[in-house]
Structure 1
Amino acid sequence: MGVRRRWVSAITATVVAAALVAPTAGAGPTTDPDAPITDPIPEQPEQSRLGLVLQEYAQLPASQATPPATDPRLIRHNRINYVGEVPDGSGRMYVPDLNGPLYLLDGGRQHVYLDFKERFEHFYSGRGMGSGFGFVTFHPEFAGNGRFYTVHTEDEEAIATEEPTYPNQPDAFVQSVVTEWTADDPSAEKFSGTSREIFRFGFSTQIHAIQQIDFNPTARPGDPDYGLLYMAVGDGGIGLDTDIPQDMSTPAGKILRIDPDGTDGPNGQYGIPASNPFVGRPGAIGEIYALGMRDPHRFSWDPGGRHAMYLGHIGQHAIEAVYEVRAGDNLGWSPREGRFEFRPENQCWLYPLPEDDEKYGYVYPVAAYDHDPPPNWPCNSDSGHAISGGQVYRGTDFPRLRGKYIFGDLVDGRVLYTEVDEMRRGEQRAPLHEMQLFDTGGKRMRMTDFAEDGRVDLRFGTDSKRNLYLLAKANGKIWKVVGTRTGAGSEVTDRVERDLVAYYDFEHPFAADDSRELDGGSSRTLLTQVNGGEDMRVHDGAYPGSNNALQVKQVAPEANGNDDWKAGTWDGDADGVESLGAFNGAKGATVMGWFKITGENPSPNSTTPEPGDRFNAVGLAGILSGDSDGHGVRALLELINVDGQLRLVALGRRLDGGASQTFAAQQNWREVLPPGEWVHLAATFDYTTGEMALYRNGRPLPGFYTVPGDPWQVDRTGTSATNPRGIKIGGSFPRNDVERNPCNCRMDSLMFLDATAGADTIAQQYRRFLRH
């Protein structure tokens, strides 16, 4: 047994990584400054019982990128990315869509106020997550002066002809353009008026351009900050291995602050506030408010307290961070990622801060979480994480939310919070909590359920009454927070959690590839949904609180192909699946989960020419042996033909290459698994005694051993000292080169334990599911 991790716990396992130098698992003190850190933030967000009740507020129309996108991350229902309230007392809400439209929502009615795709000849949104109509903010005196400000991107043709405010980055690919608009009638439903360009800057790549622009809503007339425009400028994607974010002569990798009413900027279209921290410094542009940033995605001000400014900063491959930003701050990118040293030559790991770190004056996050890529996913690939900065709740309707900074992960859709009082500069990171989510009927859901996609593209917004809103590009919807409630605790009992190596509940699609499922056990081993991909995750649930299940099935009974829907993990190398090392030499194992028959079983045998032939088994779930070809198992729950009759069995093997033993249920399998009914099954294996058992709905199933004698060669020790070759679910050969023993069924909450669970443990877990 090792350190355990589940969805509802802050416990985590160490990332498994191969290295010539043994990496450090956490960020604790080390005497070796070159010792890489693979798990920089071991603490996972703690699952809170506090939940948000979400009510659908608006459905925005579909839209397309210009030119048409080929990146699937840009091919969404639409690309709405914020919701706010027009500051004129009208109650109208505004919503920008990166693909061009600016919508106004008025009493539930929605209409296009201004369309950037139609307005600008060189408008560009076809490549880059932030390309297009990025943001809009209204002047605090919009009701009187009709002024608002936008940022959008333009293509290479514009770069060739338009003069930038500051020299473009080398080989610029897109330009961000900030525009001031003045409406003839601020109350009109559609824009009519004038505009002027106030800032233009070109970026080398299509990523990390200008994201948000905004006014400080806590500033009042007469305050030094009143009417000043903040602009979050990314590093253009080249801060990774250049000093651009630290270069004070360029806007890239900075937050800028300008005065739209001034004229002393380099192009005469805006002013540079004299209170900016670097005004007059040789070699520095005066617009800089803070520096050292990669992708400053979203910032907001606390409406109460000290009116602190909080920034959600998207990291490279490791850290997603919240910073409290003050004038003159240097967040440290790219010498630093979060509170760690970053080295571009090895992006899989971070490194301890040097002993003389204080001399650099970098500012570190007040809250952060790390990516923790699954062990069987390349560490330098997108692991589906990016922070979406949020809002501090200071409203009066929901007292339990007051003083909480509510934000999230824009990719996987987790909604997080931290207490403002615990976010202190210069101290340890504030604890993070993951919030539960409910629909108005009280059903617990995740944002992937609300957004109907494994990649949510989550954003946050607010209105003048401090109400919170969540929105998703995946289906183009906006939800309003209309309540809070207390959710249930974990669906996993403490006894099971202690030994839980792998756990797949099919509520956690891997955001970087939602044909895979995240593991809620200690191993964090990604599960592949073979052939059917994301379509195998269906809206069904075995117990209260479950929303999704896995569908497996035979696809083409007449063809000996490789198209059956099944799931699993596979590594045919001699070392097997390292993340499943808890089963190496294990003294016991347990396989359990929920199953529902949805079709004909056993399936026609597609490997023989006789149309009447049937497979002699129906695959449920099992752990492969260390020398498996994709079929041989160490512990298996399955339906198998025993003496001419199909039976539910526990089939196990103690030694690689050794004989197997089968414990078969006496009861007719069709009574055990009636069609269309969810049933909880478990199989246990004690390798030290040779004892096996089966359970149905928490109760033992009478059965018998099918092999006489001692096929396991029991000697009171565990299994072979080898890692399993993988896990198979719904049929054999998870590497998908052979079809055998498909199951036409659904599965939910599959658990694989590296210990022999007792009858009380299984009964307790079954009851926990039903109470959840």
Structure 2
Amino acid sequence: MGKHRWWVPVITATVLTATLVAPPAAAQSTPPPDQPITDPVPEDPQQSRLGLVLEEYAQLPESEPTPAPTDRRLMRHNRINYIGEVPDGSGRMYVPDLNGPLYLLDGERQHVYLNFKERFEDYFSGRGLGSGFGFVTFHPEFASNGKLYTVHTEDRDAIAEKEPTYPNQPNAFVQSVVTEWTADDPSANVFSGSQREIFRFGFTTQIHAIQQIDFNPTAKPGDADYGMLYLAVGDGGIGVGTDVPQDMSTPAGKILRIDPAGSDGPNGQYGIPDDNPFVGQEGALGEIYAVGMRDPHRFSWDRGGRNALYLGHIGQHAIEAVYEVRAGDNYGWSEREGAFRFDPANQCWLYPLPEDDARYGYVYPVAQFDHDPPPNWPCNSDSGHAISGGQVYRGAEFPLLWGKYIFGDLVDGRVFYTEVNQMKRGHKPATLHELQLFDTGGKRMRMSDFVGDGRVDLRFGTNSRGDLYLLAKANGKIWKVAGTRWGSGSEVTRQVERDLVAYYDFEHPFAADDARELDQGSSRTLLNLVNGGEDMRVGDGAFPGSNNALQLRQVNPDQNGNDDWKAGVWDGDADGVESLSAFNGVRGATVMGWFKMTGQNPSPNSTTANPDDHYNAVGLAGILSGDSEGHNVRALLELINVDGELRLVALGRRIDGGESQIFAASQDWRQLLPQDEWVHLAATFDYTTGEMALYRNGKAVPGFYTKAGDPWQVDGSGTSATNPRGIKIGGSFPQDNRETNPCNCRMDSLMFLDTAAEADVVWQQYRRFFRH
């Protein structure tokens, strides 16, 4: 969906392209350097019709961090974070788990090759999303020399007792330790042999330690890069307010390149390659290959083309970036986040590059996406985004993927690709495409559906043939890409998309908080799932291609409380919900979606002592008025009592505080909404003429107005010039201070438009749901 974009103050959004390339391209105008940019990457990833077919490959056992964590983000099925192939021709795959085990997968057999929790008494994985057994890589000659390399974290006891390779960061909390292991028998499925520590460094916080370590798989014997070990070292969590990532005297915030077979390093346990870019530079560590990083999470080499090295770099609050890494690069952190100027004093915004930016020599992303937090979410809070660096597909099986760099958002599980031939340094970043995902039965799904959780914790891996794997901590499963197929595209018609302010399909849990649903409309307003939270999202779908629906229900009929399951948006301030400003003074509105009655409706009245008393309404969905106390509406689809009989109605107000008008269906509501049957309903409101209409499964429903005359005081203009105070779904009062009119029902694909949709638009939208 499109997004409403703005500068602060408002400046034409097209000037943003001036800040997206390195060096900046010419633009019509450049915003002032101190003018914050609220939306640094206005282009959404394009929804591709191309999709991956995912086949379950394995599930690894449950595991627990050490010590027991308090951060729920660490409480996963396990914490597997990569899959690769042992380079010995055996076909065995290896999988590290941050909680300690290193697994070898030999067909359907799983072997614990090493367990770091058991090997190291100071082993630590209980705080920090990257703490624990972070990575493993096998020497390219492992079959003959038996050597593999790992990195893990240790706690303060180790810091107090063990000498680091370089001075620890101040008040170090964890140390990252790189170890060389030599197996007695490289073909064995359980390790036995010797080990030696080759690198140790301590970090101030539990985040952004050493992530990946790896060898260049494209280097051949005799090449200068053959057998050189790369270490992706984070900034220790302190780069945001210091110059640590730019300080050449410390490993932090750098990519290091070392020779594990050498001995001229500071501790004599590794060598410093002579061709490293900063060898011999005064005040610089010779191990440094590239600088200026916050959290260099994952890197991989393209095994075709130019054999380029690509890095997925996790940003602070705004930019997730892919860099093409070359010797001597500086990616600018913490002076830059992506291709923007970063100010630690105001992390909610980024800023345009200065006019003299070229003199700094910073290298900018070849691909990127921004966090784009919902407008009703604090800008300085985690909005649930982080890049998971991926792989350039060079396999032979799926030609549609050839030359695509496939990566994702590790938190919400979206999978993207960019074309390698567009990923060019010094140019505008490559266009991002979001891939569709399918199970082997052809059902379209999201990664959150595959894992059963809004927080996916997605990673990628590959084997020697170039096959692609996806894995998730949420349920500890690994999937192999087993095919490609074309999807059907969006379920929203172009006519509806143009006017679609808010759209909740319940396929998009907010990764930072599963009790909220992401809006797929233009307003991007987060929806609260009130009282039931993530449990309200159930495995049901109103139409082909839908996997989830929203469950609403009365919880305790005998108690007058606030525990009924409902959903909504609420802002009781006089200014209302700013993100819903499209309904301010609007000339028309439409509320539509899928509904299925799943229980007793109307519900027993929990506010009275009479067990035979029932509510006289059933709440469906609507837009609140600008002066609403949580109940009064601007446009509403509901079941209410009309002259002693419950009816399906469209109920609306043109003027805040003014009189409402009701258009009621003539047909019995139980025929319109049969129990346990999905039905598509729509209500339209034309405030300029006073006309209202109801639709069922795309066709107009006969009905009548309940009030004679002109209760709306129609004068050809729209509604009051106020922002709605929210959206209500299910029972009244989305602020949850009262419960009335609950709906024992399910809803799917709720849409709120800022126009009164014509009959053919409603019909075409209904039909569109069945394209899948």
TM-score of Structure 1 vs Structure 2, range by shorter chain = over 0.9
Corresponding residue for residue 534 of structure 2: 534
* Equivalent AA in structure 1 for residue 383 of structure 2: S
Corresponding residue for residue 333 of structure 1: 333
Q: Moved runs in structure 1, 4+ residues, more than 3 A?
A: 21-26
Deviations 1:293-348 (A, max 9, x none): 00000000000000000000000000000000000000000000011000000001
Shift of 1:23: 7.5
Mapping of 1:258-407 within 5 angstroms?
258-407=258-407
CA distance in 1, matches of 2:771, 2:353: 47
Deviations 1:92-134 (A, max 9, x none): 0000000000000001111211000000000000000000000
CA contact (8 A) 1:23 1:37 kept: no
* Equivalent AA in structure 2 for residue 118 of structure 1: E
Mapping of 1:556-595 within 5 angstroms?
556-595=556-595
CA distance in 2, matches of 1:556, 1:584: 37
Secondary structure of residue in 2 paired with 1:27: helix
Corresponding residue for residue 508 of structure 1: 508
Shift of 1:27: 2.1
Deviations 1:240-260 (A, max 9, x none): 010000000000000000000
CA contact (8 A) 1:239 1:245 kept: yes
* Equivalent AA in structure 2 for residue 613 of structure 1: D
Corresponding residue for residue 134 of structure 1: 134
Deviations 1:119-175 (A, max 9, x none): 000000000000000000000000000000000000011001100000000000000
Give the length in aligned residue pairs: 760
The alpha-carbon distance between structure 1 residues 429 and 378, as it changes in their structure 2 partners (threshold 3 A), is same
CA contact (8 A) 1:24 1:37 kept: no
Secondary structure of residue in 1 paired with 2:248: coil
Corresponding residue for residue 608 of structure 1: 608
* Equivalent AA in structure 1 for residue 283 of structure 2: G
CA distance in 2, matches of 1:759, 1:217: 60
Corresponding residue for residue 172 of structure 1: 172
CA contact (8 A) 1:15 1:372 kept: no
* Equivalent AA in structure 2 for residue 451 of structure 1: V
Q: Does 1:414 align with 2:403?
A: no
Q: Does 1:623 align with 2:606?
A: no
Q: Does 1:633 align with 2:633?
A: yes
Shift of 1:12: 2.4
Shift of 1:31: 4.2
Corresponding residue for residue 97 of structure 1: 97
CA distance in 2, matches of 1:240, 1:83: 31
CA distance in 2, matches of 1:85, 1:60: 16
CA distance in 2, matches of 1:129, 1:606: 45
Mapping of 1:187-202 within 5 angstroms?
187-202=187-202
Secondary structure of residue in 2 paired with 1:49: strand
CA distance in 2, matches of 1:702, 1:113: 70
Corresponding residue for residue 12 of structure 1: 3
Deviations 1:28-72 (A, max 9, x none): 442411110000000000000000000000010000000011101
CA distance in 2, matches of 1:388, 1:169: 26
CA distance in 1, matches of 2:554, 2:31: 56
Secondary structure of residue in 1 paired with 2:602: coil
CA distance in 2, matches of 1:98, 1:233: 17
CA distance in 1, matches of 2:306, 2:483: 26
Deviations 1:196-249 (A, max 9, x none): 000000000000000000000000000000000000000000000100000000
Corresponding residue for residue 156 of structure 2: 156
CA contact (8 A) 2:594 2:749 kept: yes
Mapping of 1:684-695 within 5 angstroms?
684-695=684-695
CA distance in 2, matches of 1:258, 1:66: 30
* Equivalent AA in structure 2 for residue 249 of structure 1: S
* Equivalent AA in structure 2 for residue 168 of structure 1: N
CA distance in 2, matches of 1:608, 1:715: 42
The alpha-carbon distance between structure 1 residues 303 and 746, as it changes in their structure 2 partners (threshold 3 A), is same
CA contact (8 A) 1:23 1:36 kept: no
The alpha-carbon distance between structure 1 residues 23 and 116, as it changes in their structure 2 partners (threshold 3 A), is farther
Secondary structure of residue in 2 paired with 1:118: helix
CA contact (8 A) 1:23 1:35 kept: no
Corresponding residue for residue 234 of structure 1: 234
Shift of 1:707: 1.1
CA distance in 2, matches of 1:748, 1:217: 47
CA contact (8 A) 1:596 1:675 kept: yes
* Equivalent AA in structure 2 for residue 235 of structure 1: D
The alpha-carbon distance between structure 1 residues 503 and 43, as it changes in their structure 2 partners (threshold 3 A), is same
CA distance in 1, matches of 2:278, 2:731: 65
Corresponding residue for residue 20 of structure 2: none
Corresponding residue for residue 482 of structure 1: 482
* Equivalent AA in structure 2 for residue 685 of structure 1: F
CA contact (8 A) 1:15 1:375 kept: no
Shift of 1:375: 0.2
CA distance in 2, matches of 1:749, 1:662: 24
Shift of 1:611: 1.2
Q: Name structure 2 gaps, 5 residues minimum.
A: 18-28
Shift of 1:22: 5.5
CA distance in 1, matches of 2:16, 2:232: 29
* Equivalent AA in structure 2 for residue 582 of structure 1: A
CA contact (8 A) 1:229 1:258 kept: yes
Secondary structure of residue in 2 paired with 1:558: coil
CA distance in 2, matches of 1:193, 1:358: 52
Secondary structure of residue in 2 paired with 1:82: coil
The alpha-carbon distance between structure 1 residues 76 and 399, as it changes in their structure 2 partners (threshold 3 A), is same
CA contact (8 A) 2:246 2:292 kept: yes
* Equivalent AA in structure 1 for residue 122 of structure 2: H
CA distance in 2, matches of 1:739, 1:85: 56
* Equivalent AA in structure 1 for residue 473 of structure 2: K
CA distance in 2, matches of 1:171, 1:27: 41
CA distance in 2, matches of 1:24, 1:193: 64
Secondary structure of residue in 2 paired with 1:328: coil
The alpha-carbon distance between structure 1 residues 58 and 428, as it changes in their structure 2 partners (threshold 3 A), is same
Q: Does 1:114 align with 2:103?
A: no
Corresponding residue for residue 3 of structure 1: none
* Equivalent AA in structure 1 for residue 529 of structure 2: Q
Shift of 1:709: 1.0
Deviations 1:396-438 (A, max 9, x none): 1000000000000000000000000000000001000000000
* Equivalent AA in structure 2 for residue 745 of structure 1: C
Shift of 1:15: 6.2
CA distance in 2, matches of 1:121, 1:740: 57
CA distance in 2, matches of 1:318, 1:296: 15
Secondary structure of residue in 1 paired with 2:345: coil
Corresponding residue for residue 759 of structure 2: 759
Secondary structure of residue in 2 paired with 1:39: coil
CA distance in 1, matches of 2:553, 2:414: 31
Shift of 1:727: 0.1
Corresponding residue for residue 449 of structure 1: 449
* Equivalent AA in structure 2 for residue 124 of structure 1: F
Q: Does 1:732 align with 2:732?
A: yes
CA distance in 2, matches of 1:30, 1:323: 25
Corresponding residue for residue 27 of structure 1: 16
Secondary structure of residue in 1 paired with 2:763: helix
Secondary structure of residue in 1 paired with 2:239: coil
CA contact (8 A) 1:616 1:741 kept: yes
Corresponding residue for residue 436 of structure 2: 436
Secondary structure of residue in 1 paired with 2:286: coil
Fraction of identical pairs, as percent: 80
Shift of 1:608: 1.1
* Equivalent AA in structure 1 for residue 465 of structure 2: K
CA distance in 2, matches of 1:158, 1:565: 50
CA contact (8 A) 2:31 2:352 kept: no
Deviations 1:553-593 (A, max 9, x none): 00000000000000000000000000000000000000000
Secondary structure of residue in 2 paired with 1:733: coil
CA contact (8 A) 1:15 1:374 kept: no
CA distance in 2, matches of 1:732, 1:219: 65
* Equivalent AA in structure 1 for residue 130 of structure 2: G
CA distance in 1, matches of 2:526, 2:751: 14
